Amino acid sequence: MLKFCLMGWSVGVLCFAATTSVWGVQSSLVSVPPTTSDLGVLVENAESTSRKNMVASVHPLATQAGVDAFANGGNAIDAAIATALTLGVVDNFNSGIGGGCFILIRTAKGEVYAIDGREMAPSAATQDLFRDAKTRFSNPSQTGPLASGVPGALKAYAQAVAQHGRLDLRASLKKGMEAAEGGFQVTEAYAAKLRIAKKAMLQFPGAVNVFFRPDPKTGLIEPYRAGEILKQSDLAKTYRKISQEGTDWFYRGGFSELAGQWMEANGGIMTVNDFAKYKTVNRKPVRSEYRDFEIYGFPPPSSGGVHVAQVLNILEQFDLAEMYQSDRVGFYHVVAEAMKLAFADRAFWLGDPDYVDVPLGLIEKSYAKELAVKIKMDSVLTTDHNIPPNAATDFFERHTTHVAAADSEGNWVALTTTVNTTFGAKYVIPGTGVIMNNQMDDFVAFPGKPNAFGLIGGENNAVASGKRPLSSMSPTIVLRDGQPVLTVGAAGGPKIITEVLWAIINHLDLEMPIGEAIAAPRLHHQWAPKQLLLEATFDKKMAEQLTAKQHQIKRSRSMGICQGITFDTKTGIFTGAFDPRTTGSAAGE
Ligand code: GLY
């Protein structure tokens, strides 16, 4: 069955592990209740079912690229990469070849691979890069040339297809190239992102050339509006060049030369050599067990795999399904406290494992038991370690994107990809159409100062030459009895980790179908700031009961965007789901 669902309702207790060692490292068919979103669009179902294959993403054109890849003989890896490369055109405020990614692949042979395409800091980067920066940009870790790491997404995509796909990179680029050349209709969500980024983008003629046009009524230069057709001829040329000459054109040829020249002229430090030196890393996935399930997550420099595993280990000490029925407020309290404990560890321990030791003990069951007994049912734990007083903030912006894909041969993919915040560092390398990331902000750019996501961190995540910034991206694949049953991942900075946790808890513990598991209201705690974010849809009484347990509640309209696919081993049916909080589509044959 091929079906598209087009639109969503868019719009310490610091307990440090003692051990130190280096990381090597059922679904059913259900409708999500009809509802409306910040885009005012009614959606009745954010799920789709199929028997042969499935792909889910935030954009119908991108999902179609995956469907086409399957139709052309490709497998789930080909579908995921074609989808990602198309997202890099039609959803390029979230991701693109100027950014980075993590790809988790479970092959039909049963092997699990983690391809690290995270950005690398330029060679000239130092710990004090941002403190010492003499730049015209007021927030240099977020806007302009210093904000960018050397992009890794394209190299990781190419590697995934070459090693695990059946088609080639040329085939994966085709749909994106067509969408760039022929244009696509700007959605309200896309236009809203342009409005958010407008002021910063106006500083960069290369970005204005692509995303702005004279307003038909006033003649003023304004960003494209919803309903208009956006063509990106430079990006189409870039995709064609890569298609003809391979990724070397990007890393050792025309693109890197243009980027190097632009950096030099604009106070950047990234050079052609940095592009030439960029490498993906094959990492050992984080494997953990949760009740009857095997959980595969992405290892550092992602914090996702470690902390998804750590929180699940803590929660395993509680009968969540029973608590959900008999003590709903206790259930949410325990989940929030487990999240808080894990994020406290994240701030202290996590960083690029090629530079710092990340303790393996963080995902040990014995450590989780120690943490679980600290959770009090009637009040919150105090976690005062180094939280700056003004760290509190919430972010309505949504960033990053996730692609889920699976096929009946047993290939499963969880791919999360990003330029970091909306339209990355807000500039385009002129003549290429490529938006560059602002992933340097995921380092501790200014010690003690929260980053764009309100996160603070320690020395382990300090800037250094060639280092990869810590990430929250959490591509995850779940198996039962050796058979994959769930692939899931999300967008939304640190909320990625808690979104993935909610999808897992809701689906595995509470037995919600995946669409419902993703749509259900979420809460999020990231230790710093000291606040429990509750999605606006939580009822007032629940908020009051959590407040009575001393939680400092803040309501949030923005709880990230999650995609997932499940497989029912009894019926042989895949169910794909996109997040009804935004646009999206899940489709398969
Ligand atoms: N840039 C968001 C993340 O990687 O966590």
400 is catalytic: yes
Q: Dihedral of the CA atoms 141, 143, 146, 151 (nearest 10)?
A: 100
Quote the CA–CA distance of 359 and 329 in Å, as a whole number.
33
Minimal CA–CA distance to 583: which of 156, 39, 1?
A: 39
- The minimum-distance atom of ligand 1 relative to the CA of 442 is 1
Structure confidence by residue, pLDDT tens digits, 305-338: 999 999 999 999 999 999 999 999 999 999 999 9
Residue indicated by tokens 């890069």: 129
Tokens coding 89? 């055109």
Name all residues whose Cβ lies below 6 A of ligand 1. 400, 418, 420, 439, 442, 471-473, 493
Quote the CA–CA distance of 260 and 271 in Å, as a whole number.
5
How much distance in Å is there from the Cα of 84 to the middle of ligand 1? Answer: 16
Quote the CA–CA distance of 526 and 559 in Å, as a whole number.
13
Quote the CA–CA distance of 64 and 57 in Å, as a whole number.
9
Residue indicated by tokens 């393996």: 360
Instruction: Report the DSSP beta bridge partners of residue 33.
Output: none
Q: What are phi and psi of 240, to 5 degrees?
A: -65, -45
How much distance in Å is there from the Cα of 321 to the middle of ligand 1? Answer: 31
Catalytic position from the list 383, 400, 476, 487: 400
Q: What are phi and psi of 551, to 5 degrees?
A: -70, 140
Residue indicated by tokens 């490709």: 74
Residue with CA nearest ligand 1 atom 2: 493
Pocket test for ligand 1, best of 141, 142, 350, 420 (most atoms within 8 A of CB): 420
Residue indicated by tokens 């200014």: 446
How much distance in Å is there from the Cα of 330 to the middle of ligand 1? Answer: 30
Q: What are phi and psi of 403, to 5 degrees?
A: -120, 130
E strand segments, 464-560: 476-480, 483-491, 523-524, 532-535, 553-556
Quote the CA–CA distance of 90 and 187 in Å, as a whole number.
10
Minimal CA–CA distance to 423: which of 117, 198, 265, 127?
A: 198
Peptide bond into 388 cis (omega under 30): no
Please report how the helices 304-315 and 365-374 are oriented relative to each other, as an axis angle in degrees rounded to 10: 60
- The minimum-distance atom of ligand 1 relative to the CA of 439 is 1
- The minimum-distance atom of ligand 1 relative to the CA of 416 is 4
Quote the CA–CA distance of 560 and 535 in Å, as a whole number.
10
| DSSP result, 414-469 | EEEEE-SSTTTTS-EETTTTEEPP-GGGGSBSSTTS--TTS----GGGB--TT---
How much distance in Å is there from the Cα of 299 to the middle of ligand 1? Answer: 14
Q: What is the mean pLDDT of each run of 10 residues along the chain (589 residues)?
A: 30 29 24 37 69 97 98 98 98 98 98 98 96 85 97 98 98 98 95 96 97 94 96 98 98 98 97 98 98 98 98 98 98 98 93 94 96 96 57 54 98 98 98 98 88 86 97 98 98 96 98 96 93 93 97 92 97 96 93
How much distance in Å is there from the Cα of 554 to the middle of ligand 1? Answer: 22
The sign of the torsion formed by the CA atoms of 319, 323, 324, 328 equals negative
Amino acid at 519: A
Residue with CA nearest ligand 1 atom 4: 471
Residue with CA nearest ligand 1 atom 3: 471
Q: Is 575 helix (H, G, I), strand (E, B) or coil?
A: strand
Largest CA distance in the chain: 66
- The minimum-distance atom of ligand 1 relative to the CA of 441 is 1
Amino acid at 156: A
Peptide bond into 34 cis (omega under 30): no
Helices (H), strands (E): how many in the chain?
Answer: 18, 23
Quote the CA–CA distance of 498 and 523 in Å, as a whole number.
8
Instruction: Report the DSSP beta bridge partners of residue 567.
Output: 574
Pocket test for ligand 1, best of 395, 423, 442 (most atoms within 8 A of CB): 442
- The minimum-distance atom of ligand 1 relative to the CA of 421 is 1
Pairing between β-strand 553-556 and β-strand 532-535 as defined by DSSP bridges: parallel
How much distance in Å is there from the Cα of 441 to the middle of ligand 1? Answer: 9
Pocket test for ligand 1, best of 120, 439, 440 (most atoms within 8 A of CB): 439
Amino acid at 339: M
Q: What pLDDT does 341 receive?
A: 95
Q: Which residues contact 322 (CB under 8 A, 6 or more apart)?
A: none
How much distance in Å is there from the Cα of 277 to the middle of ligand 1? Answer: 22
Pocket test for ligand 1, best of 352, 496, 524, 561 (most atoms within 8 A of CB): 496
Structure confidence by residue, pLDDT tens digits, 534-587: 999 898 999 999 999 999 999 998 899 999 999 999 999 999 999 999 889 999
Quote the CA–CA distance of 322 and 29 in Å, as a whole number.
24
Quote the CA–CA distance of 573 and 566 in Å, as a whole number.
8
The predicted model scores a pTM of 0.92
How much distance in Å is there from the Cα of 493 to the middle of ligand 1? Answer: 5
Tokens coding 426? 């807000």
Which DSSP helix (H) or strand (E) runs through 543?
helix 540-548
CA distances from 127 to 133, 220, 266 (A): 11, 42, 21
Tokens coding 256? 């890197």
Q: What pLDDT does 46 receive?
A: 85
Q: Is 136 helix (H, G, I), strand (E, B) or coil?
A: coil
Residue indicated by tokens 């996935």: 285
- The minimum-distance atom of ligand 1 relative to the CA of 420 is 1
Q: Which residues contact 301 (CB under 8 A, 6 or more apart)?
A: 116, 118, 350, 351, 352, 353, 468, 469, 470, 471
- The minimum-distance atom of ligand 1 relative to the CA of 494 is 5
Q: What is the DSSP letter of 380?
A: P
Pocket test for ligand 1, best of 119, 343, 473 (most atoms within 8 A of CB): 473
Amino acid at 197: A
Q: What pLDDT does 132 receive?
A: 83
Tokens coding 102? 């993590």
Residue with CA nearest ligand 1 atom 1: 420
How much distance in Å is there from the Cα of 281 to the middle of ligand 1? Answer: 17
